[in-house]
């Protein structure tokens, strides 16, 4: 699962399933052992993070929706991993 971004101790991963594409572009956020799956449109798909970190991830997704979608396409069509800026920069 490639790391595509990180900020404030939160790691953001994206991966594809071979022969079984996902229905929605999404990322997996990990913080202190907790996990959250969130779609590029902001829908929480599974899990949760501590409130502050989840708000950071939700804000990041809102700011980076187009970049998440582009990275999703690149990974699923070309196996290309595109890094996405975090909230710090």
pLDDT digits (tens, 9 = 90+) for 14-29: 988 666 666 789 999 9
Burial of 82 (0-12, 13-18, 19+ CB in 10 A): middle
Look up residue 59 and give its two tokens: 């804000």
Q: Could you give the CA distance from residue 31 to residue 66 in angstroms, rounded to a whole number?
A: 23
Has this prediction a pTM greater than 0.85?
yes
Helix (H), strand (E) at residue 88? none
Evaluate whether 28 touches 49 at the Cβ level (below 8 Å): no
Q: Could you give the CA distance from residue 12 to residue 35 in angstroms, rounded to a whole number?
A: 10
pLDDT digits (tens, 9 = 90+) for 20-65: 666 789 999 999 999 999 999 999 999 999 999 999 999 999 999 9
Helix (H), strand (E) at residue 58? helix 51-78
């Amino acid at each position: 699962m490639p790391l595509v971004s990180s900020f404030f101790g939160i790691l953001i991963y994206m991966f594809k399933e071979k022969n079984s594409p996902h229905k929605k572009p999404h990322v997996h956020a990990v913080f202190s052992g907790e996990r959250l799956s969130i779609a590029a449109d902001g829908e929480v798909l599974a899990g949760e993070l501590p409130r502050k970190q989840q708000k950071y991830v939700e804000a990041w997704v809102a700011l980076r929706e187009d970049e998440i979608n582009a990275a999703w396409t690149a990974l699923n069509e070309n196996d290309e991993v595109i890094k996405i800026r975090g909230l710090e920069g």
